[in-house]
Amino acid sequence: MARTAIIIGAGIGGLATAVHLHANGWDVDVRERAAGLPETGTALGMWPSALRALDTLGLGATVRSLARPQTGGGFVRADGARIADVDVAALRRRTGDPVYLISRVPLLRTLAGPLDDGVIRFGESVDDVRELSGYDVVVAADGINSRARNSLFGNTYGTRYTGVTSWRGIVDGDTDTVVETWGSGARFGVTPHTEGRTNWFACVRAPERAKAPRGELAALEKCFGDWHPGVRSVLDRVRENDGEGVLRLDLHDLARPLPRYVSGRTALIGDAAHAMTPDLGRGACEALIDGVTLARELCTHHRVEDALAAYDALRRVPTQRLARAARLMNKMVHTPGVAPVRNTAMRLMLAVGRPPA
């Protein structure tokens, strides 16, 4: 008799778990509160470790064909002066892959593709995982504001505001490099998208839920309008009301790291387990790796309890380490008055360090 799993959330981690379990004979039930998969989304960076997880699912080649390899990158000051370059070729030599950039939309569709009709049940939410019964395992992949995490661990492990708000969007016009511009307590990033378009994001310190009385584009102009021409050219192409204009989001992470990623027969993955700021560009990758790791352990161990313990041992320490590093980066970039020290530290780190791939 097939073993059964219910997965709460049809995001990157939840779908990765579902694909692996489904391919190995599990009876999988995915509940997603949204009405369907998203129709829009900016690009995500797939690091080599995430690509290897996709290879495990048999989807790596498809994602590489849909994505764009990062061919260059670097950090500059608000006036355009160079801080440091990213050696993309070194990462490829070390791992066999660069970072690939792919929109959330084709990534999720690729992950959903191997699942039979009816496996994902859209428009259905789960309020309390403790009320679920009849499944061998419950996988909570319900995001940064996870109801499952709150039910199992309490609001002590809820989210906290980082003090930084962000904007993001997509504009027409192509770029083949990833460039972050760092000013005093603010930054502006540009990355490749697909179909000749460009992703952009911007971050500044601000009170939580701050309003922009004259609109978000006006707020962006005020913060970044006098930065170097590369930033200026992107702002000139932003259209606030075109359906893909300006999305504003306050940045949160977990107030405290979880003591474990499992409770009974429930496992937390992705942002539900280790929500981190986007400073390292690793959130989507780690959710994907979580899902594949969890599913692999469930398919390897006879006892679910042993599989969950193995998953927790493999994933909790590295993901919490990344979350701490992302939080430190967020503070370093957005603390006013430390730009010279911050820029020197980044140059040194890129010169001698090896980021986790």
pLDDT in the model for residue 88 = 86
pLDDT in tens, 305-319: 999 999 999 999 999
pTM for this model (two decimals): 0.95
Other beta carbons within 10 Å of 312: 20
Which runs of consecutive H residues, i.e. helices, occur in 137-282? 147-153, 216-224, 229-235, 271-274
pLDDT in the model for residue 244 = 62
Residue labelled with tokens 């992302």 = 326
In order of their start, the domains of the chain are 4-67+103-159+253-332 (3.50.50.60)
pLDDT in the model for residue 242 = 56
pLDDT in the model for residue 180 = 96
Nearest by Cα to 78 from 167, 175, 188, 170: 188
pLDDT in the model for residue 189 = 97
pLDDT in the model for residue 139 = 98
Question: How many whole angstroms separate alpha carbon 242 and alpha carbon 283?
Answer: 27
pLDDT in the model for residue 241 = 63
Angle between helices 12-23 and 104-112 (to 10 degrees): 20
Q: Which DSSP category does 131 fall into?
A: G
Question: How many whole angstroms separate alpha carbon 57 and alpha carbon 19?
Answer: 7
- Given a cut of 70, the residues of the chain with pLDDT beneath it are 241-244, 353
| DSSP class per residue in 176-214 | -SEEEEE-SSEEEEEEE-STTEEEEEEEEE--TT---TT
pLDDT in the model for residue 195 = 78
Instruction: Give the total residue count for the chain.
Output: 357
* Whether 43 contacts 103, CB under 8 Å: yes
pLDDT in the model for residue 302 = 94
pLDDT in the model for residue 243 = 52
* Whether 315 contacts 293, CB under 8 Å: yes
Pull the structure tokens for residue 188. 């502006």
Integer Rg of the chain from CA: 20
For residue 259, what are the CA distances in angstroms to 228, 256, 263?
45, 9, 10
pLDDT in the model for residue 351 = 77
